[in-house]
């Protein structure tokens, strides 16, 4: 190992980012200017200048989720609070985003520095580590700790605040250690006795289900889960974040459960007698407000984070460790002869067929304005085998959970963890992470408005994503809540709270320099998607849909519905 040497901080930071495998930084200037100048001299790193700090954070989040490694976003001090708001979705999704911001320099007792504020506490709630750097000697250990912490265990965001509103600490010279690649802390050791007991309990179960959360994909455990499911005949249900663990056309695939879900999947989970939960936080979204699995189901759980074991459900057997290794060990157990599960498989197939028959007329609808179900069906057909679908929350998430299908485990489904407007920016970041992978963003017009300026960013950097806008000129999901608030008798004033002006987003896209398509008839959707996926430029497909079409609410055994 070479001895430490004296060099400019900016040079060391750029060298270390390169060694960590960073290929893009998403930022709003001006911050760490000398570091950015050093980055510009390295063809391996691209600085993507966005039109807002929040969208920069979303791009980094999308990058991290596609690449499965830390991504970087940056902002000067006055934009730090916007960046903090942006990494909140990454925190909820356990996504390894590393945020750099500027901070107030020492003023020698003076007060009232222009644009100065103490923003460091704002990052506490949404980061695994939050640190202010005041000296050049802090930089090397802080960088290594930030990236290691973001990627280790259950991943998550980290924030480093560089002293000076624009991060002037990077101008200093110092003695820095050798630049080295990223090292990640090992996963906790696995209790093999617990794995054996989990295998035994699944073997004797009559109606078992594996429930795969987003942690399965983060751990690269999808292949192991599919093999174990095929060998044992145990069906697999997923959360939205766990989609892609198994193709949803597979006979052993149950589908998405929870609040944004497939009706047949919720019904199947309700009937399960033993449920193995893999890599899920068991929050309200994935459990339909803790109503799934049923109270009488036996719960088994494996997670890399010990705090998740028994977090919301009493667990009969739990184990902490790397999910891929755990499932491989599960499959390697010698177990007694399995239960005959033909009756369980037949029941699942019946529920699936009933649901498919129920939704088929809408999937094939030729109605004008276009039904969102038909749009989702066309997206299922269009997404390439290796494509990524990046989806907003709200009605966009609800439609796609129930009416869109993952047809190959090579496909990726990445969704907002709660922030409307996330998908468009996140898709741009995801495409930067893997330029060869086709990336489609799906959002509504209300979500698209949030960061519509990033069309220009996509054009400037030639980020050729395809963005599909479900344009019903409204925040349609809010209609249910306002109808309830007005006792079922909405007024014109209440309608104005969720209905917006009709706008042609394709025309806006074309004006900015992207390729825009306006789709007004169902037969135009497929050709537009095929042309868009073949284009070597960013594409906006503006699909005019029915304002009266409401996404299906989650099925619940008691008929309970969370209204919001």
pLDDT, residue 564, reads 44
Q: Which two tokens stand for residue 232?
A: 């044992």
Shared domain for 119 and 206, answered yes or no, is no
Same domain, 163 and 212: no
pLDDT at position 1, please? Answer: 46
Q: Identify whether 186 is part of a domain.
A: no
**Last residue of some domain: 314, 347, 380?**
347
Q: List Cβ neighbours of 395 (8 Å cut-off, separation of 6 or more).
A: 372, 444, 470, 476, 477, 550, 551
C-alpha span between 11 and 438 (Å, rounded): 34
Neighbours of 166 (CB within 10 A): 22
Q: Note whether 149 and 34 are same-domain residues.
A: yes
Q: What is the pLDDT of residues 80-139, one digit of tens each?
A: 999 999 999 999 999 999 999 998 777 666 777 777 788 999 999 999 999 999 999 999
In a domain, 564, yes or no: no
- Strand-strand pairing, 539-544 and 515-519: parallel
Instruction: Find the distance separating the first CA and the last CA of the chain, reported in whole Å.
Output: 58
Residues 539 and 396 in one domain: yes
CATH (domain of 389) = 3.40.50.970
Cα–Cα dist 163/102, whole Å:
6
- Using CB atoms within 10 Å of the CB of residue 462, give its burial: 0 to 12 exposed, 13 to 18 middle, 19+ buried: exposed
**Whether residue 286 is found in the same domain as residue 421:** no
Q: Are residues 160 and 39 in the same domain?
A: yes
Q: Identify the domain containing residue 392 by its residue range.
A: 364-544
Q: Is residue 85 assigned to a domain?
A: yes
Domain count, the chain: 3
**172 & 196 share domain:** no
Pair of tokens at residue 182? 């990223």
Q: Which among 321, 347, 373 is the end of a domain?
A: 347
d(CA 213, CA 438): 24
Residues 39 and 172 in one domain: yes
Is 481 inside any structural domain?
yes
Sheet holding 412-415, edge to edge: 412-415, 388-391, 439-444, 466-471, 539-544, 515-519
Q: How far apart are CA 327 and CA 227, in angstroms?
A: 9
- Do residues 167 and 198 share a domain? no
Cα-flanking dihedrals φ and ψ of residue 270, to 5°?
-60, -30
- What's the predicted TM-score (pTM) here? 0.95
Closest C-alpha to 426, from 400, 395, 450: 450
**C-alpha to C-alpha distance for 379 and 152, rounded to whole angstroms:** 34
- Residue 557 belongs to some domain of the structure: no
pLDDT at 109: 66
The tokens 């963890």 sit on which residue? 417
Query: Are residues 342 and 370 both part of a single domain?
Result: no
With 0-12 CB in 10 A as exposed, 13-18 as middle and 19+ as buried, what is 346?
exposed
Q: Identify the CATH number of the domain in which residue 196 sits.
A: 3.40.50.1220
Q: Are residues 145 and 269 in the same domain?
A: no
Residues 432 and 379 in one domain: yes
In a domain, 359, yes or no: no
What pLDDT is stored for residue 222 in this prediction? 97
187 lies in some domain: no
Spatial distance between the Cα atoms of 256 and 514, rounded to a whole number of angstroms: 34
| Weakly modelled stretches of the chain, pLDDT under 70 | 1-3, 107-109, 335-339, 487, 494, 560-564
Domain boundary pick from 176, 202, 235: 176
Q: Quick check: is 560 in a domain?
A: no
């Amino acid at each position: 190992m070479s001895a430490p040497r004296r060099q400019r901080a900016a040079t060391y930071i750029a060298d270390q980012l390169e060694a960590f495998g960073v290929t893009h930084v998403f930022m709003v200037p001006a911050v760490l200017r000398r570091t950015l100048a050093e980055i510009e001299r390295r063809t391996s790193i691209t600085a993507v200048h966005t039109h807002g700090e929040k969208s920069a954070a979303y791009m980094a989040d999308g990058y991290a989720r596609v690449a499965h490694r830390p991504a970087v976003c940056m902002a000067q001090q006055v934009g730090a609070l916007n960046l903090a708001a942006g990494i909140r979705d990454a925190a909820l999704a356990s996504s390894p985003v590393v945020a750099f911001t500027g901070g107030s320099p020492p003023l020698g007792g003076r007060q009232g520095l222009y644009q100065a504020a103490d923003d460091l506490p704002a990052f506490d709630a949404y980061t695994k580590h939050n640190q202010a750097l005041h000296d050049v000697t802090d930089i090397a250990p802080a960088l290594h700790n930030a990236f290691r912490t973001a990627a280790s265990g259950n991943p998550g965001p980290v924030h480093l605040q560089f002293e000076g509103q624009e991060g002037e600490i990077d101008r200093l010279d110092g003695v820095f250690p050798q630049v080295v690649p990223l090292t990640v802390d090992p996963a906790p050791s696995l209790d093999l006795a617990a794995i054996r007991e989990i295998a035994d309990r699944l073997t004797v179960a009559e109606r078992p289900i594996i429930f795969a959360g987003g942690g399965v994909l983060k751990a690269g455990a999808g292949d192991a889960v599919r093999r174990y499911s095929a060998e044992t005949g145990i069906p697999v249900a997923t959360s939205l974040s766990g989609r892609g663990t198994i193709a949803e056309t597979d006979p052993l695939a149950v589908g998405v459960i929870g609040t944004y879900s497939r009706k047949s999947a919720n019904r199947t989970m309700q009937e399960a007698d033993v449920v193995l939960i893999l890599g899920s936080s068991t929050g309200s979204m994935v459990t339909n407000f803790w109503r799934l699995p049923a109270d009488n189901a036996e719960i088994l759980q494996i997670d890399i984070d010990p705090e998740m074991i028994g977090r919301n459900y009493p667990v009969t057997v739990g184990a902490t460790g790397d999910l891929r290794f755990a499932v491989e060990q599960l499959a390697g157990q010698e177990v007694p002869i399995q239960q005959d599960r033909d009756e369980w498989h037949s029941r699942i197939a019946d529920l699936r067929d009933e649901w498919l028959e129920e939704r088929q007329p809408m999937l094939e609808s030729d109605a004008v304005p276009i039904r969102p179900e038909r749009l989702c069906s066309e997206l299922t057909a269009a997404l390439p085998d290796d494509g990524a679908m990046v989806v907003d929350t709200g009605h966009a998430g609800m439609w796609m959970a129930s009416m869109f299908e993952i047809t190959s485990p090579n496909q990726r489904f990445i969704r907002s963890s709660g922030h409307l407007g996330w998908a468009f920016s996140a898709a741009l970041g995801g495409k930067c992470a893997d330029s060869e992978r086709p990336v489609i963003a799906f959002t509504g017009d209300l979500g698209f408005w949030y960061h519509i300026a990033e069309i220009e960013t996509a054009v400037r950097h030639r980020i050729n994503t395809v963005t599909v806008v479900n344009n019903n000129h409204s925040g349609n999901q809010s209609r249910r809540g306002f109808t309830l608030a007005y006792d079922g008798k909405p007024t014109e004033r209440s309608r104005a709270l969720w209905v917006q002006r009709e706008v042609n987003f394709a025309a806006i896209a074309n004006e900015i320099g992207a390729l825009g398509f306006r789709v007004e008839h169902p037969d135009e959707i497929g050709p537009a998607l095929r042309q868009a996926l073949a284009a070597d430029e960013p594409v906006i497909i503006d699909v005019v849909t029915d304002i009266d079409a409401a996404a299906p609410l989650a099925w619940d055994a008691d008929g309970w519905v969370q209204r919001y």
